[in-house]
Every structure is written in C-alpha cells, then in structure tokens.
Chains A and B, each alone.
Chain A
Amino acid sequence: MVIDTVLWSRLVTALTLSFHVIFATIGVAIPLMISIAEFVGIRRKDPHYTLMARRWSRGFVISVAVGVVTGTAIALQLSLVWPNFMQLAGNVIALPLFMEVFAFFFEAIFLGIYLYTWERFRNPYLHWLLTIPVVLGASMSAFFITTVNGFMNQPDGFVMEAGHFSAVHPLQAMFNDATPSKVFHVLTSAYMTGAALLAAVAAFSMLRKGITDYKKKALKLMMAVLLLFSFLTALAGDTSAKFLAEHQPEKLAAAEWHFETEKGADLIFLGWLNAERDIIGAIHIPKALSFLAFSDFNAEVTGLNEFPADEQPPLIVHYMFDFMVGIGFALLAVSALYFLFLFWKKRNELNKWMLRVIALGAPLAFLGVEMGWFYAEIGRQPWMIRGYLRVEDAATTSPSIMPLFFVFLLLYILLGTMCVIVLRRLFRDNPAEVEFEKIAKTKQAALAAQTSSSPDGSKEEGEPNA
C-alpha cells in the first residue's frame, strides 16, 4: 500500500495529538487537585496536605513544560499540515482559538507566580487564591479548544457560498450543538484521570515502600475526587451518546455496529465482524442501545446502512468505544469499592489487591482518554468539517510531510523518556516523609532563631521563614 500525503498528514496530527492529550489532561486536572489539597491543608491546619500541594505542583511543572511545547506544536501544525482547513474555517473558528490563547496566557502568568511565592504571603489563603486563576485558565482553555472540535463535528454559525463561509456568527459557531456535551465530557473525564493518576501514585508508593499517614491522606482525598468525577464522567458519556443519536447517528451506529435501522436496538459489547459484516462472539444487551440513545427501550435507532458508503466511519471505532466505556465504569467501581471497604470495618481498604487495582487505574484512565478521542476523531471520518470539508481536501500537498512524521516521532519519544526520567529523579530519592521532617526542623530552627532576637537567622533559601 502506498501511503499518500493525506494519510501522512493524518498520522502526524494523530501522533502529536495523542502525545499532547496525555499532558493536556494532566494540565487541566492537576491544578484542581493541587488547589483542593492546599485548601484542605490550610483549612484543617494539616501540613501533610500543604506538602501534597507542594510536591504535586513540583511534578506538575515538569509535565506542564511538555504540555506547553506539544500544545505549541499542535497550534502550529493546524496551519502547517492543514493549510486549506485553516484558510476556510479560520473565518469561523478564530474566536475560540484566540480565546484559548488568552486562557493559556492567564494560566501561565499565575502558575509562575504560584510556584515562586510559597513563602511570600503572610495569609496562607492569599497563596491559595493564586490556584484559582490557574484552575480556571486550564479549564477554560480546554473549554475553548473543545468548542473548536465541536464545530468540526457539528458545524454551525455560517452560510456556505461558492466554497466559502459567509454570514459568519462567531458565537453561534462556538456554541454549536456539540459543544455542551463535549465540554462536559472532556472536563469530567480529565478531572477523573487526574485523580486516578494521583491516587495511583499513592497506591503504588504504598505497595513499594509501605503505608504512611501522608500516603493514606493523599489516597483518600484522591479517591473521593475520583468517585465524584467518575460518576460525572459516566453521566457526561450518557449525554454525549444521546447527542450523537440525535445529531451524528452515523458515529454512534459505527461504534455500535448497528447496521439496520430498528426499534428496540441491542447494545453490542466487543465481538468481531466477518467478511459479510455479521457480528460474531459479541455480548448483546437487549434493547440497551435504544435506551442509551433515547431513554426509551423501544425507540428507533438509525443504522449505518442509511448512509452512503463513502460517508461511513471505519468500523474499528467499535473497540475504542467499548474500551472507553469499560474503563470508565471500572474506575467508578474501584472508587466505590474503596469507600465501601473504608466504611465497612470488616474489610481493609488498603489491602494489596485494592492498591494494585488503584495503581492500575492510572494507565487505564489515560488509555480511556486516548480511546475516547480516537473514537471521536476517527468516528468523524471522512470529514474534517462534517458535511463541508473532506479530510483529503484539507491536507497539505507537500511530500515533506512523510519524513516529518519520523522527526516528530523521535521528538516525542525523547520528550516522553526525559520527562519520566526527570520525574523519577525528582521523587525517588526524596520521599514525602523525609521532606516533611526537614520542613518541620527548619520551621523549628527559624522559630528558635526568631525568639533569640535574630529575626533573619540562618534559614535556607526557599524554605519557610515561619
């Protein structure tokens, strides 16, 4: 098979986005977790939580750096790899793209301030207040960029005239029909993934180095957040499915291998297709698809055969959909089980198997995010802007796109590896408990120095000065 420039363009974009989405998810979610931990720490006067916020933010900066540079990459690639798409759609989607940069700017400014002002305010709430613009900025950029993706799925806010968009309504394009369910789903699943990640770090560390108070508190806090957001994610997923059933039936039909339009449609889990498109070895849940799509067991669900062959998405999206949904429910179940064990005294919520499952939750959550995006994007094929611009008309014509794929592949391998190495080095030889002791000691020393009349005693740089 000859891979043409269009496919190479798609591969370059898929590569950049699937690498970026890992760090973007961290970038959206972790500020919220840091903010929660710092707030709880101030509220309960418990330095364990404050230390949590500090350690998380230290690791967060490293991943933010990779998120920023890959985000810059994708912003540039939109124009470099898809010049005709940006020329056409730029008239309609420039507004959210522009606003996204503002949100990013806002976040960048306050993240810098937050990181370097740990000891500069007398009132601890002032420092905590700095997390709010960071959380807002991160979530707002996710919101704005998701509206762009929503537009590509459900174009709105313009009139097509002789191959150009005219009579543009920027706000209508931004708040297209796909926007609410997409934003809801993106934000909840990002927060869920962030909580799963930090919970997994605590669980993993408990398995390796034993249970301590600090880790117990971190785990409990994150499991609570995980429970909340995995529930909300399931709700958001349901909203999204109902949106698809109404506005983008071919995407849902492809995910469910639902070929014939029928009432009381079955939900199909896993399985495979033979050459005649018969489904083999799948689990059928009677009438569940109708219920999922319209909250009515006997509703009619449009089948894929209603659409012309050259407008049908690839059928492989079925597996991505199944994995995404499966992982989402698994995380919900794990967090519910944790709290069941916690409150039901006969069981130990910190038993080895529970911790192992929680530790496994992080890679699964990220896999779920990837699968969800693959489903959303591949499920839109063959369209770039659904109904208006096909992918092959939007891509660059330059043959240089092929070597560039490998250049970027190499770059992301390098960045990913370095990121892991640096993060490991940052935390491996510096456990929370040791750091906790150190902070307590310097605090005591500073207090002692203060009482013995030398207020500017021998304190180390960056350490608390009481």
Chain B
Amino acid sequence: MSYEILGISVLWIFLYGYLIVASIDFGAGFFAFYARLTGKDHLINRLISRYLSPVWEITNVFFVFFFVGLIGFFPDAAHYYGSSLLVPGSIAIVLLAIRGSFYAFENYGSKKNIVFLFLYGATGLLIPASLSVALVLSEGGFIRETNGVVTLDYLELFTSPLAWSIVGLALTSVLFISASFLAFYASRAEDRPALELMRGYALFWSTPTIIAAFTAFLYLSQHNERHFQNMMNLWWLLGLSVVFFLIVLWLLYKGRRYGWMFIAVMLQFLCAFFAYGIGHYPYILDPYITVQGGATQEAMGIALVVVFIAGLLLLIPSLALVFRLFLFDADYVKGKK
C-alpha cells in the first residue's frame, strides 16, 4: 500500500474515532442541559460527569490529531481549506474554547452554574454543525479559486440543501450516539432511572437520524453524481449499516444487552462512514486536491507513518488503561471509587 493511501486511511479512522467520542461528549452536554430544564438532572448528571471528567481532554486530542495529520499528509489542504474555512473554522475554535474551558470550570471549579451548563449544552450542538461544514465543502462547488486566491461562496453554501441535510445528519447522529452510549453506561452503573431516561432519548433520536441520513444521501446524488455512484457501488456496506441500525433498535426496544447495542451503533456508523469515505476517493477536496496529487513528499510521508505506528504502540495500552479504570471498572462506574 502506498503511503498516501495509508495516510488517508489512518486519518479517516481517526476521524471516525472522533465522531464517536465527540458525539458522546457533545450529546452529553445537550442532555445535561435539557435534563436540567425538565428537572431530571438529578438522574443523569453524576453519570455524565463521572464518565466525561477523566476523558474530555482525550476527546479534544482526537480532533487535533485529525487535522494536524491531514495538513501533514496533504499540505495542499492547508491552502484550500485554510483559506476558505477562516471564518467557519474560527467560529469552531471559539465554540470549542468556550466548551472545553467551561466544562473544566464547572466540573473542577464552581458547581451548579446554569450559565455554564447552557453554554456547555448549546455549544455541544453548534460545534458539530460548524465542523460538518468542512465535509460539505469537500463535495466541491463551494470554493472558488481566482488568481491563486481561494474564497468560500457563502450564498451557495447557505442555500444548498446538501449543506443543511449534512448539518441535520450531524446533529441527529450526535444525539443518537450519545444517548445510546449513556444508556449503556447507565446499565453498567445499574442506575435504572438514568437508564430508562437515556433509553427513551436513544429511541426518540433513532428515527430522525435515519431520516437525515437518507435525505443527505438523496441530496448528495443531486450535488455530486460521481460520489453518489461510488457509494451505490458499495451498496453492501450501506446495507450492513442499515442492518446494524435495526439490531440497535431491536435491542433498545427490548431493553437489554446494552453493550452489544452500543457496539452495533458503532458498527452502524463505521459502515456508513467508510462507505462515504471510500466513495469520496480519490478526492480530498473535489476537484482541487486528490489523495495522490496533494500528498506530501515521500520522505515525510514515510516518517509520518513510522511515527504513527510508534505512537499507536504508546497510545493503545494507555487508552486500554483508561478504559479499564473508568469504563469497565464496575465499582468506578457505580460511583464507589
């Protein structure tokens, strides 16, 4: 396998990792706020903060990892995405900054501040929306290049049904993934009231998620014929995704085996995400950057791959330790440690 294919595969896996961990985090913020408004916060707040406090920083790193890696493997991306995303990217920075620091202020500093909680909840929905703009841009047709100056066509972007459907998909998936994870976590903690609440949220958000997915798919067929056709050729992956979704629904409905239920959620998104990603190949930004054309120098590409493998050898045991201590340690989850 050539290093640039390896590079984009690695990045895509990391983006998928971010999708899962960040969705849990972003959704949790929203649910925490919503539960406070509806007077149910006593049920889930402790659960949420017990899981999130040790890992919120790790979530952030997944994101930095993805874009530093993207610029590293494909420096041309800096020119196009960097120039065109100045405003949406800066908005995302501001939101991430507010969210990250206010989470720490609330959880390690002063307790029970409704303003902090509101900012935490609201940014949890705005960040996925602003980040998904980058995915929309990658489909092409929103960026203009004249005399080497790259600009973003905002009118085109804001009137595009594709853009809105992708934003919608991002929001609903965040809430669905988060609710199903928290249901699983509540079941580990043997916390019945929290489990029932989160199970309800997960069931509720499953329908909009699948509707948004089909809508986005439909608009993609109108916007980028090539990408759509490529994805149709991967029909079996999309089909698998739907099968996993049905498994999730069934397990949620029956109210048991929450561990398997969440694994099915992850597989559902894995299949869809990779069908989307593979269908996107060979473009990183249609039509300006391709995987081969935009790749970095070979020496750098190989160095990055080597470092990546060395880094994984360091990270995987460390992450396993985190999981053992905070996710699969029954006593910790139940609040006894």
Contact = CB atoms under 8 A, between A and B. Distances in A.
A98 B72 contact: yes
Nearest to B315: A105
A83 B297 CA distance: 18
A105 B58 contact: yes
Given A106-B315, A112-B58, A171 B303 contact: yes
B98 interface: yes
Contacts of A110: 318
A426 B109 contact: yes
Contacts of B39: none
Interface residue SS majority, chain A: helix
Contact of A94 (B65, B72, B92, B97): B72
Q: Which of B81, B85, B104 has the most CB of A within 10 A?
A: B104
B94 interface: yes
Interface string A56-85: 001001101110111111011111111110
The range of chain A's interface size is: 35 or more
A113 B303 contact: no
A419 interface: yes
Contacts of A201: none
Q: Is the interface of B mostly helix, strand, loop or mixed?
A: helix
A94 B94 contact: no
A349 B150 CA distance: 62
Contact of A64 (B67, B94, B98, B104): B104
B53 interface: yes
B211 interface: no
Interface string A94-122: 11011111101110111111011101100
Contact of B54 (A64, A87, A112, A166): A112
Interface in B32-86: 53-55, 57-58, 60-61, 63-65, 67-69, 71-73, 75-83, 85-86
Given A101-B64, A119-B337, A398 B86 contact: yes
Contacts of A95: 72, 300, 303-304, 307
A298 interface: no
B97 A73 contact: yes
Contacts of A75: 64, 67-68
Interface of A: 58, 61-62, 64-66, 68-73, 75-84, 86-92, 94-95, 97-102, 104-106, 108-113, 115-117, 119-120, 133, 165-171, 396-398, 400-401, 404, 407-408, 411, 414-415, 418-419, 422-423, 425-426, 461
Given A94-B304, A102-B307, A398-B86, 18 more contacts: A64-B57, A65-B105, A68-B100, A69-B101, A71-B64, A72-B63, A76-B89, A79-B71, A81-B86, A92-B300, A95-B307, A101-B69, A105-B61, A106-B314, A117-B325, A165-B297, A170-B303, A397-B149
4 closest residue pairs by CB, A with B: A90-B75, A94-B72, A65-B104, A83-B82
